[in-house]
Amino acid sequence: MSSSLAAGIAGFLLGTSLIIAIGAQNAFILRQGLLRQHVVILCLICSVADAALIAVGVAGLGTLVSSSPVLITVVTVGGAAFLAVYALLAFRRALHPGALKAGNEAGMSLSAAVTTCLAFTFLNPHVYLDTVVLLGSLSANYQGTARVAYAVGAMLGSFVWFFSLGYGARLLQPLFAKPAAWRVLDVIIGLIMAALALSLLARLSAS
């Protein structure tokens, strides 16, 4: 196996595992996929944004960001606040699950969905820590074409994951014809968002 191929596979596996762990984006894409609303554009936004952040991290910004405590603090507090607000909205939706049936849901407009997706992408510090800092730092283990292959592999992992999640969600649609299933989903989404917000603040206080 060539060094470039091995680097590409390593980037794909690491990138995919990190993206799967970023719960905010995934929960939003899952919900929109279940509703079959704006799936293509939202998956593209998440994937392209991740690809851009990975490229920036591999190019060397990861080291710069990790050395700026002020920048990390600002991004962390802002991200925690955003996630906390969305958690509250999810819990509020869970109180009225009957309005969220997949076949009847009016849902978000395209502009609102895009804005929310961009917020989940760029206001979530986990995205920067994973794509820019961690993936960027680990790219130092590769040089030349192997480093490029590593970055491309990580980017490909993002595209594969988000489109699989967005379009695979509709396989669960019969289950979510029941309002109770939407209630459970929104409660889970709310808990994920709240846990992420608390973990960000805990990480900040421990640093």
CB of 57 closer than 8 Å to CB of 136: yes
Nearest to 110 by CA among 25, 37, 162, 26: 37
Percentage above 90 pLDDT, the chain = 19
The pLDDT of 146-159, averaged and rounded, is 91
Q: Which pLDDT score, from 0 to 100, does residue 31 have? A: 86
Mean of the per-residue pLDDT values of the chain: 79
The pLDDT of 51-76, averaged and rounded, is 73
Stronger pLDDT, 12 or 79, i.e. the higher one = 12
Residues 123, 169, 152: CA angle, nearest 5 degrees:
55
Q: Which pLDDT score, from 0 to 100, does residue 177 have? A: 67
Lookup: tokens for 55: 């490229």
Q: Which pLDDT score, from 0 to 100, does residue 159 have? A: 94
Burial of 27 (0-12, 13-18, 19+ CB in 10 A): buried
Stronger pLDDT, 90 or 157, i.e. the higher one = 157
CA distance 170 to 154: 26
CB of 113 closer than 8 Å to CB of 46: no
Q: Which pLDDT score, from 0 to 100, does residue 101 have? A: 45
Q: What is the pTM of this model?
A: 0.69
* Dihedral sign (CA 157, 148, 137, 142): positive
Q: Which pLDDT score, from 0 to 100, does residue 114 have? A: 94
